[in-house]
Amino acid sequence: MAPQPDAAIAGIGLTEQGRHLGISRRELRRQALDLALDDAGLERSDVDGYILIGASFEDLRYLGLSPAFAYSLMTGGASPTASVLVAAGAIATGQAKTVACVYGEAYSSEPPKLVPHTTGGVERDIRAYSYGYPYLYGMVGPASTYALAARRHMELYGTTSEDLGRVAVVEREYASIRPGTQGYGQPITLADHQESRMIVDPLRLLDCSRPTDGGAAIIVTSTDRAADLTDHPVRVLGGGTSHAIETWWDGTMFESMNVDRAARTALGQAQMNIGDIDVAQLYAPFTIAVLMQLEEYGFCKPGEGGAFVADGHTGPTGTIPTNTGGGQLSGFYATGFTPLSEGILQMRGQAPSSQIADARTCLVSGSGGNGGIQGSWSHATLVLGADR
């Protein structure tokens, strides 16, 4: 087994997260970087590695950086989680000492792309929400593919819409007491879930997240340097990745989130079992993704995710409090930075609400790369540890 990474997170920056903020992606990245540098007590000149989360042109001039390297990393929702591993590798090989991993998107503030319509005029370009050839048959957007995963789970295990709804209710409970979340002050009931409109059968409105605008940044450095910079460094105890292109070939693309290899590598490096994890922050833009990951990581057995949530195990006093900031369903959607940022705050003991007492270890997941197979193409896992 590979040795434990010599890496820690010394700073974090989160901008306002919300809808229609009216701030550009680049400016959100600048704001997040400012916050992360201030949190770590660093200057821009200290940053010698830069990882932009997303497929975009680099923006070093706007950010005022002059690093030894600048990468643009895109593996879907797994990108923020994976960026920590890339940063750790750069530090281990002497390419940098201080790496900034930065994200910023303005989904609801930037004008939609328009294309000519065959009958004249223009229409909204929805091709960005399609995934290759399935688009030819009307499969547009990740909800349609996660819906197939949900239906398959129902057929295999008898999972119900109410099982999905309880995931939404728990995450909204967390968000309803967390200022700044999309669900703040707005708790929901299972009846609310069941009455919400159908989006893609069997997924209802309250089974789905929606993109928000916002920026996020973290500062990754060595464990020794992090301890010098801050009183609350967050150790990277282990990390791993998986890829599941083979599911296209064997017909199992809607049956798995493909966590196995990523989990085994991350837990192996951390020298832990899944029972050693205190809290979990999961990449889950749809309720079904929570159930699938709870089962595949081994927090419960296959097919038992619905009952596991119903019995309170993912709540604040449960055996594995999960998505304690409201997750992507009710907190905010910053791709994989949603679970990663909450994991960091929990390990620092600084969660604004629902801080889990004595939490010392956290599992963070990220999935994506191709929503056409419900986010299972690329998967990344981190095990974070408290050092406070």
Q: Active-site residue numbers?
A: 283, 333
Amino acid symbol at 55: A
Distance CA 219, CA 66 (A): 15
**In degrees to the nearest 10, what's the CA dihedral of 231, 316, 375, 77?**
-20
Distance CA 305, CA 327 (A): 17
Distance CA 33, CA 102 (A): 7
DSSP per residue, 230-297? -SS-EEEEEEEEEE-TTHHHHT-TTS----HHHHHHHHHHHT--GGG--EEE---SBHHHHHHHHHHH
C-beta atoms surrounding 79 within 10 Å: 27
DSSP per residue, 160-207? -HHHHHHHHHHHHHHHHTSTTSTTTT----HHHHHHSPEEETTEEGGG
Distance CA 205, CA 125 (A): 23
Amino acid symbol at 230: T
Distance CA 314, CA 171 (A): 9
Which tokens sit at 297? 């990581």
Which tokens sit at 282? 């999961």
Distance CA 267, CA 271 (A): 6
